[in-house]
Homo-oligomer: A and B are copies of this chain.
Amino acid sequence: MKKKLLISDIAKQLNISITTVSFILNGKAKEKRISDSLTARVLKLVEEVNYKPNQLAQSLRTGKTKTIGLMVEDISNTFFANIARLIEEKAYKAGYKIIYCSTEDDTAKTRDLISMFRDKHVDGYIITPPPGVEEDIKELIAEGLPVVLLDRTLPGLPTNFVGVDNRMGSYSATEHLIGQGYKKIALVTTESGQSQMLQRLEGYEQAMAHHQLAPKLLKIPFRVTTEDMIPKIMAFLDDLRQRDDLDAVLFATNYLALRGLEAIDKLELRVPADVGVVGFDDHDIFRLYKPSVTAVAQPTEAIADQVINMMLDQLDTDDRKQATTTQTAVLPTSLIVRNSTTRR
């Protein structure tokens, strides 16, 4: 078990002071006018013996951990998993590590996590907020900590935010269905008051209204388990079907669409002949499924870019309580037309 190297070890070996080594290691050699040759010798030795400063000590001293906390609704959802992967990659390039967690859209859990991140002294917070965490986030901001909200905003809380134009996304999805000759279009969404879900609802309603079509809604409570979702969707669709009032469905999230496809399958409805299907958020399965499923795709790469840029921006602007200006990025979605909405 080889002894851990200390900065003092390397100072000693070179017969110079710890200070000098520290300056050089922190890129202040020029600033402190340390000779190039000394600088080179130090760097060389550090390299050779593979000295690594103790990050804990560093962080304790500087108050910076070079770590960003990322809390998404559900890391096992491909949409969030992709965003997380991209953010991590980009953060890494800027010298930051990412710690992730899933909120499961649970207020209590999220507050716990925020508190855990604070304990860990993360330098910045990227959050997909569940309802009810407004106060906690306000507090973070009040303490001058960088915060970027992702995917959804919190009502009455001006914050740095990155998301997509959800209203437009579902509006154009609905328009697309109508363009394909579908008229009896239902929307299956969640009951939550999350901003992005409300916008998706709004877009659908506007498109329907625009064509004088009657909206048909199913709102699934958030806490419903995967298994319970399917019968609920089946009952809803079957009921409409009985009344001959259904020929297409827009699902407001990818997991709703997944459950929805199972429901449709069990009802033995044919897609796209009996019902057209569109999902919000693309998913691998949609490409594979038969028929392949039309989806409103979010630009994950662009989202990740914006998020990390906003974060690094704030991190750079250092202390300065720049909480005054908040940035917002609303990105466009794109409709990926596949076979589930193509009637011939």
Q: Which residues of A contact B (CB under 8 A)?
A: 1-2, 52, 54-57, 59-60, 65, 75-76, 78, 81-82, 85, 97, 99-100, 102, 115-116, 118-121, 142-144, 258, 261-262, 265, 284-285, 288-290
Given contacts A76-B85, A289-B289, 5 further A-B pairs with CB under 8 A are A1-B144, A75-B85, A76-B78, A97-B116, A285-B285
Q: List 22 A-B contacts (CB under 8 A).
A: A1-B142, A2-B143, A52-B119, A54-B121, A55-B119, A56-B59, A56-B60, A56-B65, A75-B75, A75-B85, A76-B78, A81-B81, A85-B102, A97-B116, A97-B120, A258-B284, A262-B288, A284-B285, A285-B285, A285-B288, A288-B289, A290-B290
Query: Contacts of A55 on B, CB cut-off 8 Å?
Result: 119-121
- Find out whether the CB atom of A265 lies under 8 angstroms from the CB atom of B285: no
A92 to chain B, nearest CB (A): 9
What secondary structure prevails in chain A residues at the interface with B?
A: helix
Contacts A85-B76, A258-B288; is A56 near B121 (CB within 8 Å)?
yes
* A63 to B, closest residue via Cβ: B56
Please give me the 3 A-B residue pairs with the lowest Cβ-Cβ distance, nearest first. A56-B60, A1-B143, A76-B81
Shortest Cβ distance from residue A124 to the other chain B in the assembled complex, whole angstroms: 16
Residue of B nearest to A67 (CB): B120
Q: In the complex, what residues of B have CB within 8 A of residue A99's CB?
A: 99
Chain B residues in 8 Å Cβ range of A289: 288-289
Nearest Cβ on chain B to A277's Cβ, whole angstroms: 13
A267 → B minimal CB distance (Å)? 14
Q: Which of A59, A78, A102, A143 has the most CB of B within 10 A?
A: A59
User: Which residues in B have their C-beta under 8 angstroms from that of A65?
Assistant: 56
Task: Name which residue of chain B comes closest to A321, CB basis.
Answer: B1
**Chain B neighbourhood of A97, CB < 8 A:** 116, 120
Beta-carbon nearest neighbor of A53 in chain B: B119
Partner of A60 from the list B52, B57, B102, B288 (CB cut-off 8 Å) is B57
Which chain B residues lie closer than 8 Å to A102 at the CB level? 85
Docked Cα-Cα span, A289 to B288, in Å, equals 8
Complex: A95 Cα to B40 Cα, angstroms: 44
Give the nearest-CB partner of A265 in chain B: B290
Residue with the highest number of chain B CB atoms closer than 10 Å, among A55, A56, A78, A102? A56
CA distance A271 to B54 in the complex (A): 57
